[in-house]
Amino acid sequence: MDIEEVEVVVVGGGQAGVAMSEHLGSAGVPHLVLERGRIAEKWRSGRWDSLVANGPAWHDRFPGLEFDIDREAFVPKERVADYFEAYARLIGAPVRCGVEVTSVQKNHGAPGFRVETSQGAIDARFVVAATGPFQVPVIPPIVPADAGVTQLHSAGYRNPEQLPAGGVLVVGAGSSGVQIAAELEQSGRRVYLSVGPHDRPPRRYRGRDNVWWLGVLGEWDAATPPKGAEHVTIAVSGADGGHTVDFRDLAGQGIILLGSTTSFRDGSVRFAADLRDNIAAGDANYLSVLDEADAYIALNGLNLPEEPDARVFGPEPACVTSPVLELDLAAAGVTSIIWATGYATDFGWLKVDAFDPSGRPRHQRGVSSEPGVYFLGLPWLSRRGSSFIWGVWHDAKYIADQIVIQRGYAAHGD
Ligand SMILES: Cc1cc2nc3c(=O)[nH]c(=O)nc-3n(C[C@H](O)[C@H](O)[C@H](O)COP(=O)(O)OP(=O)(O)OC[C@H]3O[C@@H](n4cnc5c(N)ncnc54)[C@H](O)[C@@H]3O)c2cc1C
């Protein structure tokens, strides 16, 4: 049986796979991108209908192509997917769609790897795992499946009409949870939002968007999360033209805020008494960004308008001063729970020595402990920006360079 041979197989045709293809192509490295769905499939079928990008069009893009939209706009998710398809066409990326990689194993006694796919085997000298930062939706085992409520993960949420009539408990106050809660509330639902530890940077401050501040303050390039903030989610939103997430505003719109969700018994969900602390910590994070921005402006003598109102918070809402610690779902009319509780990775197909004993990818800037295997697109792969559109392009460039270096050694003496 003939086995197809390719120098580099890139697994996954999302933004990471497209970026990888650009840099391998520029370096003249023959490669193939295998995508089980369509290009940027997650932006099409893994997100809710009304989602827009969290960063403005001028920033959340690759260097080689602008969005066909106002540069300050937050791009709707279908247009983000269209953009990556257009980008792949622009660079002539060799993407094979509808092909799932089922296993990758080291060839014994020969260089490279055997890549098994839904359409046959391929031999590759190098493999790049670009299967996404957010692969498997995680729902904490708190409310049993037979509790009499519809339960879904934010990855499966599409729009309010999808849910049965009645109130909704949204668990998780990162970017997904706050946007879904607001949409459900605007659709006329009674909404409860369980708020855990979070950062909530300002959308704009002194005339500049948050992504600009992250850039000039060196935050996109930060190599590790700030100490103690490893498990803190980030609440930012490009919805409705973009706005700062302020939980007091959400409460003012009618959303009932709750602390972290801890347990379930006899039809009731229980919450930690941490709501006030979580909101205070989020406020402190917000104010720290303003302080850093002010210091940067002063240090560099920039002429950006002052914005003292940004430091004025509204009064604490009643749901914060007298928090609900237990919610009887039936009595409250709650018929659905949406778990906006994040994702895990699943590299079950990658059967190589590139994982630590707890199954986490073992790598340095994406160069794994299995020579010839690389990771791309993972959170904090090399920096804060690694799992985002802006950052993955730069990581892909580095990994392409590493592959070129290894090809050079392999060819030495030929
Ligand atoms: C709700 C949400 C909103 C976001 N908004 C933004 C934003 O506004 N700006 C921003 O910069 N980032 C945003 N992100 C973060 C990040 O940009 C996205 O998660 C993005 O989809 C990551 O791209 P990726 O290519 O690394 O992974 P993915 O988009 O997940 O692509 C991985 C691809 O691999 C394919 N695949 C997986 N396994 C296999 C296999 N075995 N064989 C073949 N193919 C396989 C999948 O089908 C998928 O297409 C957001 C994330 C989420 C969850």
pLDDT in tens, 325-345: 999 999 999 999 999 999 999
- Among 339, 356, 389, which residue terminates a domain? 339
Give the pLDDT of residue 1: 67
pTM score, whole prediction:
0.96
Cα of 43 to ligand 1 centre, how many Å? 7
Domain CATH for 350: 3.50.50.60
| Six-digit token string for 404 | 């070129």
126 and 144 belong to one structural domain: no
Kindly list the protein residues whose Cβ atom lies closer than 6 A to any atom of ligand 1.
11-17, 34-37, 41-43, 47, 51, 53-55, 60, 100-101, 130-134, 176, 349, 377, 387-390, 392
313 and 169 belong to one structural domain: yes
94 and 146 belong to one structural domain: no
| Residue 226 confidence class, pLDDT cut points 50, 70, 90 | confident
Query: Residue 225 above 90 pLDDT?
Result: no
| Residue 356 confidence class, pLDDT cut points 50, 70, 90 | very high
pLDDT in tens, 34-64: 999 999 999 999 999 999 999 999 999 999 9
- Among 339, 369, 400, which residue terminates a domain? 339
324 and 232 belong to one structural domain: yes
DSSP string, 171-222: E--SHHHHHHHHHHHHTT--EEEE--SEE---SEETTEEHHHHHHHTT-TT-
Looking at the structure of the chain, the number of domains it has is: 2
- Among 339, 361, 384, which residue terminates a domain? 339
Cα of 14 to ligand 1 centre, how many Å? 6
45 and 152 belong to one structural domain: no
pLDDT in tens, 97-137: 999 999 999 999 999 999 999 999 999 999 999 999 999 99
101 and 22 belong to one structural domain: yes
Spatial distance between the Cα atoms of 242 and 102, rounded to a whole number of angstroms: 40
Percent of the chain residues topping a pLDDT of 70: 99
25 and 155 belong to one structural domain: no
212 and 327 belong to one structural domain: yes
277 and 332 belong to one structural domain: yes
| Residue 414 confidence class, pLDDT cut points 50, 70, 90 | confident
Average pLDDT, stretch 169-177? 97
3-class DSSP state of 170: strand
pLDDT in tens, 291-330: 999 999 999 999 999 999 999 999 999 999 999 999 999 9
- Determine the structural domain holding residue 186 and report its residue range: 138-339
246 and 272 belong to one structural domain: yes
What are the residues facing 373 on neighbouring strands? 127
18 and 102 belong to one structural domain: yes
381 and 402 belong to one structural domain: yes
Q: Atom 29 of ligand 1 has which residue's CA nearest to it?
A: 14
Residue 185 CA to chain centroid, in angstroms? 24
